[in-house]
Amino acid sequence: MDVTFLQGVWFVLIGVLWIGYFVLEGFDFGVGMLLRVVTRNDAERRAVIHSIGPVWDGNEVWLLVAGGATFAAFPEWYATLFSGFYLALFLVLAALIVRGMFFEMWGKREDSTWRRRWEITFAIGSFLPALLWGVGWANIVGGSPIGSDAEFTGTLFSLLTPYALLGGLATLSLFLVHGACFLALRTKDEVEERSRAIARSTAPVAALLVSAFLAWTVIRQSDHGGIEFVSTLLAILAGASLVAAIFFASRRPGRAFGATSLGIVFLFSSLFANLFPNAMVSSTNSAYDLTLSAASSSHYTLTVMTVVAVALVPVVLIYQAWTYWVFRARIGAEDFGDVKNPLDLVDRSRTGDR
């Protein structure tokens, strides 16, 4: 059965939601992994924490909306994905919960051991999703053990193929560089310099891993359909964006961050183009691929969802853009003598103390 217009629209919208999540939460993960690497004392760590403190929970809303949109628009896709990837998604959820706890608990006690343990927990809670999201999407696009009844027939270890692990390393390295570029853009003094150095040294690794993963994806693509020309072009653009990030990392943090953002956009756009017109690919037999048509809700449901999305999504985007604008100033260790929360920074910027 051919994909209808609304099914295609919602496939694209879900792709946009996932890409938005990875662009925004990607630098969150990178900052979490780098917290103890780019800082030397509590003042510097507080600056790094406050660089994402006002926005990290808003970034995670994109994940909730992407999951909800998948459930409403393509319930069979949601059922197969979340039942088959249950343990992996549980690990991601646990890591995200731990990350949220870090922001609440880190400053509760003036104790170096207490804070060090939470910082390590924060790093692990950022590392796992950065790795597992790549593994998961590699399995969605490259193929998972799915039977004729659209049921997942494998185990957690079935997902850990060489191709999937390369996908995990690609997203892990990319989010690390993305976070380093964000810190180079949002912090100052020693933290900024350390962040630039890390971005400069890790950008070539990310470019290599992402390019290798996408090359492997394009080579495998002919077995499962996909829009070959578009996905190949997007893969090339992803590699070119990360090459640009290598050159911008030293002196142009804003452009470097823009380049890594484009790298993420083109990477996942290529994967979605590769996946179409399927929702999930079966590694058992191509006849068992779960198509968008088979996974879709009714035309009426998609129509109602479209009306609601057109009305509400712009409001959410405006609000989140406003949040980033309010908390746009660079911050450093010297800003945190009497600062205890992000609103203190806003007050100080308004009174000219900064």
> 173: Cβ–Cβ under 8 A, 6 or more apart, which residues?
202, 205, 206, 209, 210
The pLDDT, as a whole number, for residue 349 is 52
135 with 64: CB under 8 angstroms? Answer: no
Q: What is the DSSP string of 43-55?
A: HHHHHHHHHHTTT
CA dist., res. 263 & res. 244, Å (int): 10
pLDDT of 156: 78
Tens-digit pLDDT profile for residues 141-182: 988 888 888 788 877 788 889 999 999 999 999 999 999 999
Classify 330 as helix, strand or coil: coil
Closest CA to 224 of 315, 126, 291: 291
What's the rounded Cα separation, in Å, for the pair 336 and 353?
Answer: 12
Q: Can you give the pLDDT at residue 111?
A: 84
- pLDDT at position 92, please? 93
Residues of the chain with pLDDT under 50: 352-354
Which pLDDT tens digit goes with each residue over 261-275? 999 999 999 999 999
What is the model's pTM? 0.90
Q: What is the pLDDT of residue 354?
A: 43
